[in-house]
Amino acid sequence: NALLQWCKQCTEGYPNVNITNFHMSWADGLAFCALIHAHRPELIPFSSLSPKDKEKNMELAFSTATKLGIPPLLDVEDMFICAKPEQFSIMTYLSQFYHFFKTGNAKASGLGTIKIESTVPAKRPAIA
């Protein structure tokens, strides 16, 4: 899946972030934060985040995404309703991240139009 591959590439090297799927890999919020940090490091203080603060991480990522103009397709509560977050909802939300970081506009969505080489940052932001 091109979207999953793009997420992996963008977050490679981030501590406590190992993206392997569209459900449990996102459950503590760090992957969402890392994805934003990879493109806009000034918005997320990644080195100060902890995998134990799931709700705080989710709130930070989702509120930051909303401020960027990415539609709030998920709520923090959605991620905690069941033991395993719903993967199609996460995939749809992440497609908005992809399109935003590619074009600056999350409205141009569609999973079929994702090409991984387009938006991976050329220069990695410092994590620590």
Determine the residue type at 10. Answer: C
- Residue 66, pLDDT above cutoff 70: yes
Q: What tokens does 6 get?
A: 């793009």
Gyration radius (Cα) of the chain, Å: 13
pLDDT value, residue 45: 98
Share of the chain above pLDDT 70, in %: 81
Share of the chain above pLDDT 90, in %: 66
Q: Is 58 helix (H, G, I), strand (E, B) or coil?
A: helix
Calpha distance 128→70 (Å, rounded)? 26
The domain covering 2-118 belongs, at the CATH homologous superfamily level, to Calponin-like domain (1.10.418.10)
Helices (H) and strands (E) in the chain, counts: 5, 0
The more confidently predicted of residues 30 and 125 is: 30
Q: Which of 3-7, 79-83, 106-110, 124-128 has the lowest mean pLDDT?
A: 106-110
What is the mean pLDDT of the segment spanning 18-45?
97
Contact 29, 11 (CB under 8 A): no
Calpha distance 13→66 (Å, rounded)? 25
Summarize pLDDT for 70-123 with one digit per residue, the tens.
999 998 988 887 777 789 999 999 999 999 998 877 665 554 455 555 455 555
Look over the chain and give the mean of its residue pLDDT values, rounded to a whole number. Answer: 87
The more confidently predicted of residues 13 and 127 is: 13
Contacts of 80 (CB under 8 A, 6+ apart): 54, 55
Query: Can you give the residue ranges of every domain in the chain?
Result: 2-118
pLDDT value, residue 121: 58
